[in-house]
């Protein structure tokens, strides 16, 4: 018999809307026995929450997130509010809720660790929203690696470049202040995606060597117009050594002129190579040394029902999934972990703590000018 999971959503911005759409779609997409219900939404005021509930299709709303996390009918809390998340997450856990929290989980590792511990002690399912590995192509990439289609892996290069701060005249905001966003800028915001993706594909990093740079050192204050200091990095580049011996690099930038959703990677193995670019999320390139020498080349593989999860969105190949579909897969994974249909949720809060630790090691490396171990 089917049952319901009642979701409470905190936040109605970019990611809040994406999660709302996923809640409405995931049941029909995957034919789930356990259906999510878009029950309550919380924003910063009753009025905005009422509007959000109507717009995004929630039954109930509140201007006080505490009411949401303590509501006895809520099973799962999805946190899409801006940082800090700590209090929301801990209160939700304390009330026995499962928690799906958008990235970054925290602005410090200690805070993330505190949430991980709370989640483990409470025995609730907790997930962080590093969604890109859920795209069918990147699920397939992981399969190819696991199947040995690439042979022994010898290199990974992962990049996440965007240009949302390329314009030097854009005013400063919370992302560029240490008090709010933490010490890491692009390294934290986009680096978490690279670190997450490389973890998904190859497992944990053992040590890093990093370089960061603030490209636009000053930006206008939105109120006064005066130029004030940008407090964290616009771009970062990391050499990394994985625990399995693979070496590679990560590169991130929020001033990468021309790149919009520039999360890409190349994984080179002794027998084959994979190349993926999130701006073309419905295809992946694969080269195999086993092909006949005359016809060896990178194959552009359009994602289809032969690949993970795609067939649940569309039975015909090459039609393409989109960004919101990836969030739908993420919510499916969360539900499966809650219902016990998977014992292997990725990424949980322990994975989020790992991401923070890699960033810490990178920041330490920048200061020390040498390789630093991930804590």
Secondary structure E strands in 92-139: 98-101, 126-128
Among 260, 367, 373, 375, interactor with a copy of itself by CB under 8 A: 260
> Where in 158-177 is the site for a copy of itself (CB under 8 A)?
161, 164, 166-168
Q: What is the DSSP string of 184-220?
A: -SHHHHTHHHHHHHHHHHH--EEEEEEEEE-SS-EEE
Among 63, 82, 220, 317, interactor with a copy of itself by CB under 8 A: 317
Stretch that binds a copy of itself, among 81-89, 95-103, 117-125, 271-279 (CB under 8 A): 271-279
CB 178 within 8 A of CB 121: no
How many residues of this chain interact with a copy of itself, rule: CB under 8 A? 99
Q: Does 313 bind a copy of itself (CB under 8 A)?
A: yes
Q: Could you tell me the smallest distance in angstroms from the CB atom of residue 138 to a copy of itself? A: 13
Torsion sign over Cα 59, 60, 66, 71: negative
> Where in 320-339 is the site for a copy of itself (CB under 8 A)?
320-325
> Where in 355-374 is the site for a copy of itself (CB under 8 A)?
369-371
3-state SS, one letter per residue, for 225-253:
CCEEECCCCCEEEEEEEECCCCEEEEEEE
> Where in 86-145 is the site for a copy of itself (CB under 8 A)?
140, 144
CB 41 within 8 A of CB 8: yes
Among 45, 178, 218, 296, interactor with a copy of itself by CB under 8 A: 296
Among 133, 248, 330, 360, interactor with a copy of itself by CB under 8 A: 248
Stretch that binds a copy of itself, among 87-95, 172-180, 184-192, 310-318 (CB under 8 A): 310-318
Q: Does 301 bind a copy of itself (CB under 8 A)?
A: yes
| Residue 25 C-beta-side C-alpha neighbours within 13 Å | 18
Cα distance between residue 104 and residue 355, in whole Å: 9
> Where in 34-63 is the site for a copy of itself (CB under 8 A)?
35, 54-57
Q: Could you tell me the smallest distance in angstroms from the CB atom of residue 237 to a copy of itself? A: 5
Distant-in-sequence, close-in-space partners of 222: CB < 8 Å, separation ≥ 6: 171, 172, 173
Q: Does 294 bind a copy of itself (CB under 8 A)?
A: yes
| Closer to a copy of itself by Cβ: residue 113 or 307 | 307
Token pair, residue 273, equals: 């190579």
| Closer to a copy of itself by Cβ: residue 66 or 213 | 213
CA separation, residue 135 to residues 79, 157, 347, 364 (Å): 21, 18, 14, 32
CA separation, residue 221 to residues 164, 269, 284 (Å): 17, 48, 42
| Closer to a copy of itself by Cβ: residue 66 or 280 | 280
Q: Could you tell me the smallest distance in angstroms from the CB atom of residue 155 to a copy of itself? A: 6
Length of the chain: 375
In terms of Cα–Cα distance, which of 77, 87, 137, 79 is closest to 111? 87
Q: Could you tell me the smallest distance in angstroms from the CB atom of residue 24 to a copy of itself? A: 4
> Where in 205-234 is the site for a copy of itself (CB under 8 A)?
209, 211, 213, 215-216, 234
3-state SS, one letter per residue, for 249-265:
EEEEECCCCCCCCEEEE
């Amino acid at each position: 018999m089917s049952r319901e999971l009642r979701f409470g959503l905190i936040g109605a911005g970019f990611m809040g809307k994406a999660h709302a759409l996923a809640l409405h779609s995931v049941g029909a997409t995957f034919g789930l026995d356990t259906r999510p219900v878009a029950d309550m939404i919380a924003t910063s005021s009753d009025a905005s929450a009422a509007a959000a509930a109507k717009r995004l299709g929630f039954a109930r709303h509140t201007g006080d997130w505490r009411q949401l996390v303590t509501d006895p009918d809520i099973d799962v809390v999805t946190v899409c509010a801006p940082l800090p998340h700590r209090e929301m997450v801990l209160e939700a856990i304390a009330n026995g809720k499962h928690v799906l929290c958008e990235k970054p989980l925290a602005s410090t590792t200690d805070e993330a660790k505190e949430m991980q511990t709370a989640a483990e002690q409470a025995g609730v399912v907790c997930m962080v929203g590093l969604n890109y590995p859920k795209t069918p192509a990147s699920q397939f990439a992981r399969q190819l690696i696991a199947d040995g289609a690439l042979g022994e892996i010898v290199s990974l290069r992962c990049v996440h470049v965007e240009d949302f701060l390329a314009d030097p005249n854009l005013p400063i905001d919370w992302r560029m202040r240490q008090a709010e966003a933490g010490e890491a800028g692009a390294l934290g915001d986009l680096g978490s995606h690279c670190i997450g993706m490389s973890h998904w594909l190859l497992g944990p990093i053992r040590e890093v060597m990093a370089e960061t740079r603030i490209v636009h050192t000053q930006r206008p204050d939105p109120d006064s117009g005066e130029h004030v200091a940008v407090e964290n990095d616009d771009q970062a580049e990391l050499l990394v050594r994985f625990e399995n011996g693979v070496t590679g690099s990560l590169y991130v930038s929020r001033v990468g002129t021309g790149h919009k959703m520039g999360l890409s990677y190349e994984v080179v193995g002794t027998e084959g190579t994979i190349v993926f670019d999130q701006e073309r999320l419905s295809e992946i390139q694969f080269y195999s040394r086993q092909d006949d020498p005359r016809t060896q080349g990178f194959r552009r593989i359009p994602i289809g029902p032969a690949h993970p999860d795609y067939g649940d969105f569309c039975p015909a190949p090459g039609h393409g999934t989109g960004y919101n579909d990836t969030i739908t897969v993420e919510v499916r994974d969360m539900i499966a972990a809650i219902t016990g249909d998977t014992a292997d949720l990725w990424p949980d809060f322990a994975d989020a703590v790992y991401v923070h630790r890699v960033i810490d090691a990178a920041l330490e490396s920048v200061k020390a000018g040498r390789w630093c171990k991930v804590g």
